[in-house]
Structure 1
């Protein structure tokens, strides 16, 4: 079969390759790939930034945003033809306390594996196998849009943690600022609107689909700096990892507010000065600034409900490019108007 593979740590090594069929010991459920989302993590791995092949192997099958169709359910309760999404992170074998209770997204010893990222083959293959506990059913009526489930889990988890942290004191959050209008930012805005909050989205582009997508949600779109908005949000979800924007967000957020960081960027300011500014705001304003990454099984179920409640026509617009596996170089090369690029393996 064919799969998109890379040599982790080697830039330019991504190719559509002939690989063996997935081994039976990878899981009893055999899945036919329908689509795989392409994100910045895939591009960074393909550029040699990081990534780890399975033990004893040179190449890693890429892809962690999956959508597939069950070919062989094995001895499980699944049915042939059901649409499913594979869970990315698997617990460590030790296990740590978090992994032991199914919260492997909070793994404390770093021995987890992640499909398509860390020591486990991903989903950019014609077929893949998995254990049933790492599968989530997806409504077939979503079609290819089921591939949005994994990125939706990231912000579903972020929102869950925000609302849990908010219970530390009396808190009545109304205004939300999302920094960055990529897929994560737009899905974070979608959840904010579903929760009935006043949502503002800040990005740097003035053309393309992003402003319209934000407005269709009933949210407000802005360009410029956080300081120029004149807002005092109760919640900030920062999706860019740009250090000055993180500092501006902490400065702007209301006293007692929460800043959630979901993006990782390159440092472009003095570390000590940045730390001092963030510490000052966090202490004097009783802020919580925390990071969130990955998701566990319950976040997949909650994200599925988020997508089910969303307007299908709005979700369709998030997919700005559809490519075939042979076009892997084009898929990994970002374009200015890209939101979500989807690699299609088969028709739903």
Structure 2
């Protein structure tokens, strides 16, 4: 079968090649790969910035934003051939820490977890793949064209879960949320905010393209800019910072209403140094009972929450997030940014 492979730590090694068909082990599903979402993590892996091959190998199959159709199930499985599924990315460490042992492997304490397509386990960029039944999530059949969005949606489902947990420390009836960055994570965070009935604002530097209309069609408000100056007076109750840009991170810390919550969900490359008054930031956070937290990855329940959220969303809107579909035979082109890209998908069937 064909698969998209790379050599971790070495740039320019991404290739579509023939690899042996996978053989499902006990308790595993055999799945036909349908599509794969490509994100910034995948591009960093292809650029050799990080990644860990399976033990004893130099190359591995990339890809963690999966979508497939079940071909074969083990005896007694709750799945059936023909089911639409996605695979969870992370696996707990072999000698589980306290979090991993309780199914909270996205919050692993010792870093010995593994991840499909990233860290020591082959990913999902293949015409066929296997997955343990306990790490597969069945999707509503209506999600066949957009189901690869479940993984990025799981990241924001976790973010919203933690926002609500933190908010429950006291009276919590938020009205407004600001999302910085209108990439896939930001747009999906906005979607889940609207599903919660909140007034949603999205800030991005891009004035044209698909993003403003996508935000408007959610019933949210799109803002063009590179700072939070416009929110200095009408402070949001919640900020989901999705860019990782230092200036926006710092501004977010002092831009919420009292008892506000800031979720840091973005990563940016290092570089520019920012001067900041730590004492002033500290004073604002302390005196207003603000909370700031970081989040990454997702566990099984977040994938299930994401599948539910997408099934409830407007399918046409979700399809508009996908601005390019690239055949597996031309996979390298999916890793090159094109003007107007929002979400790029690999079609594993072509």
SS at match of 1:3: strand
Is 1:54 the counterpart of 2:26 in the alignment? no
Q: Structure 1's 60 and 278: CA in aligned 2 closer, same or farther, altered over 3 A?
A: farther
The C-alpha deviation readout for 1:218-273, integer Å capped at 9, x for no partner, is: 00000112113443011000111111111111121112101001111123454784
User: Who is 1:228 aligned against?
Assistant: 230
TM-score scaled to structure 2, two decimals?
A: 0.95
Q: Structure 1's 321 and 25: CA in aligned 2 closer, same or farther, altered over 3 A?
A: same
Alignment of 1:322-333 (within 5 A): 322-333=325-336
Q: Aligned partners of 2:178 and 2:213: how far apart in 1?
A: 17
* Cα deviation, residue 26, structure 1: 8.2
SS at match of 1:300: helix
* Cα deviation, residue 276, structure 1: 5.3
* Cα deviation, residue 275, structure 1: 5.4
* Cα deviation, residue 22, structure 1: 1.9
Runs (4 or more) in structure 1 with deviation over 6 Å come to none
Q: Is the 8 A contact 1:53 1:119 kept in 2?
A: yes
Q: Is the 8 A contact 1:36 1:344 kept in 2?
A: yes
Match of 2:303 among 294, 300, 304: 300
Q: Structure 1's 206 and 295: CA in aligned 2 closer, same or farther, altered over 3 A?
A: same
Is 1:259 the counterpart of 2:262 in the alignment? yes
Instruction: Indicate the larger mover: 183-192 or 140-149.
Output: 140-149
SS at match of 2:267: coil
User: Who is 1:339 aligned against?
Assistant: 342
Q: Aligned partners of 1:28 and 1:177: how far apart in 2?
A: 41
* Cα deviation, residue 137, structure 1: 0.2
Gaps of 5+ in 1: none
Q: Aligned partners of 2:272 and 2:12: how far apart in 1?
A: 29
Q: Structure 1's 274 and 66: CA in aligned 2 closer, same or farther, altered over 3 A?
A: farther
SS at match of 1:252: coil
Q: Aligned partners of 1:283 and 1:269: how far apart in 2?
A: 27
Q: Structure 1's 260 and 26: CA in aligned 2 closer, same or farther, altered over 3 A?
A: farther
Q: Aligned partners of 2:122 and 2:27: how far apart in 1?
A: 13
* Cα deviation, residue 60, structure 1: 1.7
Q: Is the 8 A contact 1:149 1:304 kept in 2?
A: yes
SS at match of 1:177: strand
Q: Aligned partners of 1:114 and 1:276: how far apart in 2?
A: 39
Q: Structure 1's 275 and 33: CA in aligned 2 closer, same or farther, altered over 3 A?
A: farther
Q: Aligned partners of 2:279 and 2:267: how far apart in 1?
A: 19
Q: Aligned partners of 2:35 and 2:244: how far apart in 1?
A: 27
Equivalenced residues, count: 347
User: Who is 1:28 aligned against?
Assistant: 28
SS at match of 2:168: helix
Gaps of 5+ in 2: none
User: Who is 2:111 aligned against?
Assistant: 110
* Cα deviation, residue 162, structure 1: 0.1
User: Who is 1:125 aligned against?
Assistant: 126
Q: Is the 8 A contact 2:97 2:110 kept in 1?
A: yes
Q: Is the 8 A contact 1:243 1:268 kept in 2?
A: no
Is 1:288 the counterpart of 2:291 in the alignment? yes
Q: Structure 1's 275 and 57: CA in aligned 2 closer, same or farther, altered over 3 A?
A: farther
* Cα deviation, residue 277, structure 1: 5.5
SS at match of 1:326: helix
* Cα deviation, residue 79, structure 1: 0.8
Q: Is the 8 A contact 2:142 2:311 kept in 1?
A: no
Q: Is the 8 A contact 1:247 1:277 kept in 2?
A: no
The C-alpha deviation readout for 1:260-293, integer Å capped at 9, x for no partner, is: 0111112345478475564343223321111111
User: Who is 1:182 aligned against?
Assistant: 183
Q: Aligned partners of 1:181 and 1:272: how far apart in 2?
A: 26
Q: Structure 1's 273 and 31: CA in aligned 2 closer, same or farther, altered over 3 A?
A: same
Q: Is the 8 A contact 1:27 1:129 kept in 2?
A: no
Q: Aligned partners of 2:157 and 2:292: how far apart in 1?
A: 17
